């Protein structure tokens, strides 16, 4: 018994020292996996993000495959805001379809109206580059760009954790919405543009004086937003080298706007000879490129675009001041009843309540619409989020036979899955905010 106990004790010591402590002696290598090996690997699980999440910028639903805090796969589900806009436009006249474009990207309204009006003018063959109403369109397009970037940068900073820029940005957006309201009567859904014309009623002398005061003051807000964010170490840490886009991915996913320019691709429809539109060719403007293609580059480009938009509006207002001076027979600046186009004169407007023929013509014009020549046309504009295009097929009637809308956010959402793969879950919110996606134009 004494021998057996001593032998068993020796075997126990040998087993503990030699077989288990292989890192010390290196005499034994494990060949069979044990139940403790699974502890070294994190199990992946599926999680729903949205569609009610406040940081999803709308009704986005992401099905995420997470491995701890890392995103291994992401699948975007869209369509929760689908209204059938393109199909509804086929049942209405061209003019009655215009307000639908305000409700696509409900942050940059007039830019989308501009693309639709350019498409109709393309079918009519009456596109203009130097008319007065074209210059006013450019002015409101750039004010819309300011409105969009104010909201995009402020909500992005809220997602990351900075609250101060939201107060400054929303104050400026309120002033911009006042300009919308003064020319159209609506703060957001303006329906202000018309094919080959504008509603000139609200464009009086006081409007441009107030606009110049706003442009002088908005520099302060843009500068404050830039300084408070660019000097914040947390903001830079959360954005630098996050969501990097390679310039080879940009043409594959048809990216445009700030997203494509952040990757170094020189694409801006306002300054390209083959795609310029309206009055941009006669203005001095610059477009900005990024180096890394990350979220911080997109933030810097939006700040620079806001300052450039202010400079463009200054040019347009100065040009209109030179046109409508005190010697002009059209008393544009001295009357609240501004310039009326030749197609609908002031006398015709006043005669609607006294002349039955004028009232009948007015009723038929707005109820039946105007017949456009048959054909196919595609027109695009440089919207704040990217290339916004409208493709119209006309069969010679007063309504579009087919309307297809090309929205930038829909294309940018396509490569979100590959862009956020390998990042932390918190970085997905940063990348989504830097894309500046609005789901009114994604789902349509």
DSSP string, 6-69: HHHHHHHHHIIIIII-HHHH------SPPTTGGGGSPPPEEEEE-SS-GGGSSS-EEEEEEETT
408 CB burial (10 A radius; 0-12, 13-18, 19+): buried
Query: 3-state DSSP call for residue 132?
Result: helix
Closest residue by Cα to residue 133 from 144, 149, 121: 121
How far apart CA 181 and CA 189 sit, in angstroms, is 9
Phi/psi for 190 (5° steps) reads -75, -45
How far apart CA 219 and CA 225 sit, in angstroms, is 10
* Cα-trace Rg, the chain: 30
Residue 412 lies in a domain: yes
Closest residue by Cα to residue 152 from 413, 432, 428, 417: 432
HSE-CB at 238 with a 13 A cutoff on CA atoms is: 25
Element (H, E) at 392: strand 386-394
Query: 3-state DSSP call for residue 440?
Result: helix
How many folded domains does the chain comprise?
Answer: 1
Go through the chain and tell me how many residues it has. 444
Q: pLDDT tens digit string along 1-13? A: 444 545 444 444 4
Residue 73 lies in a domain: no
184: containing domain: 84-326+368-442
pLDDT of residue 405: 92
Given strand 402-406, what is the order of strands in its sheet?
Answer: 375-383, 386-394, 402-406
Residue 67 lies in a domain: no
Residue 70 lies in a domain: no
Residue 178 and residue 214 in contact, taking contact as beta carbons nearer than 8 Å = no
Residue 373 and residue 123 in contact, taking contact as beta carbons nearer than 8 Å = yes
Residue 258 lies in a domain: yes
How far apart CA 50 and CA 58 sit, in angstroms, is 9
CATH number at residue 90: 1.10.645.10
What is the reported pTM? 0.81
Given strand 61-67, what is the order of strands in its sheet?
Answer: 45-49, 61-67, 70-77
Residue 269 lies in a domain: yes
pLDDT of residue 139: 92
Residue 431 and residue 407 in contact, taking contact as beta carbons nearer than 8 Å = no
pLDDT of residue 42: 65
Below-50 pLDDT ranges, the chain: 1-3, 5, 7-37, 39, 326-347
Residue 97 lies in a domain: yes
Residue 336 and residue 204 in contact, taking contact as beta carbons nearer than 8 Å = yes
Residue 10 lies in a domain: no
């Amino acid at each position: 018994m004494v021998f057996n106990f001593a032998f068993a004790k020796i075997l126990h010591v040998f087993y503990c020292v030699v077989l288990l402590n292989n890192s010390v002696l290196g005499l034994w290598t494990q060949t069979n996996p044990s139940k403790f090996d699974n502890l070294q690997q994190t199990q992946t699980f599926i999680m729903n993000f949205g569609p009610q999440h406040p940081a999803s910028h709308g009704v986005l639903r992401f099905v995420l495959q997470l491995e701890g805090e890392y995103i291994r796969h992401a699948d975007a589900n869209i369509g929760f805001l689908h209204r059938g806009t393109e199909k509804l436009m086929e049942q209405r006249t061209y003019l009655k379809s215009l307000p639908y474009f305000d409700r696509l990207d409900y942050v940059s309204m007039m830019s989308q109206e501009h693309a639709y009006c350019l498409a109709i003018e393309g079918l009519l063959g009456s596109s203009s580059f130097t008319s007065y109403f074209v210059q006013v369109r450019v002015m409101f397009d750039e004010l819309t760009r300011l409105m969009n970037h104010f909201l995009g940068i402020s909500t992005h900073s809220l997602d990351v954790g900075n609250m101060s820029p939201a107060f400054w940005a929303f104050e400026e957006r309120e002033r911009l919405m006042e300009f919308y309201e003064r020319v159209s009567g609506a703060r957001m859904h303006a329906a202000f543009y018309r094919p080959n014309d504008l509603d000139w009623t609200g464009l009086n002398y006081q409007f441009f004086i107030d606009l110049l005061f706003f442009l002088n003051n908005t520099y302060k807000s843009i500068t404050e937003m830039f300084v408070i964010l660019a000097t914040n170490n947390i903001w830079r840490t959360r954005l630098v080298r996050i969501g990097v886009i390679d310039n080879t991915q940009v043409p594959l996913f048809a990216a445009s706007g700030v997203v494509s320019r952040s990757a170094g691709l020189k694409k801006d429809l306002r300054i390209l000879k083959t795609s310029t539109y309206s009055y941009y060719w006669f203005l001095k403007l610059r477009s900005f490129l990024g180096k890394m293609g990350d979220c911080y580059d997109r933030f810097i480009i939006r700040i620079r675009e806001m300052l450039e938009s202010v400079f463009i509006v200054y040019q347009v207002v100065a040009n209109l001041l030179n046109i409508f001076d005190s010697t002009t027979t059209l008393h544009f600046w001295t009357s609240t009843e501004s310039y009326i186009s030749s197609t609908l004169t002031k006398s015709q407007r006043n005669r609607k309540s006294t002349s039955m023929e004028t009232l009948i013509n007015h009723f038929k014009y707005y109820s039946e619409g105007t017949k456009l020549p048959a054909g196919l046309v595609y027109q695009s504009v440089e919207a704040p989020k990217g290339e916004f295009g409208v493709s119209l097929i006309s069969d010679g009637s007063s309504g579009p036979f087919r309307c297809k809308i090309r929205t930038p956010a829909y294309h940018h959402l396509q490569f979100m899955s590959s862009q956020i793969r390998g990042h932390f879950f918190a970085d997905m919110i940063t990348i989504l905010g830097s894309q500046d996606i609005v789901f009114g134009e994604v789902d349509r």
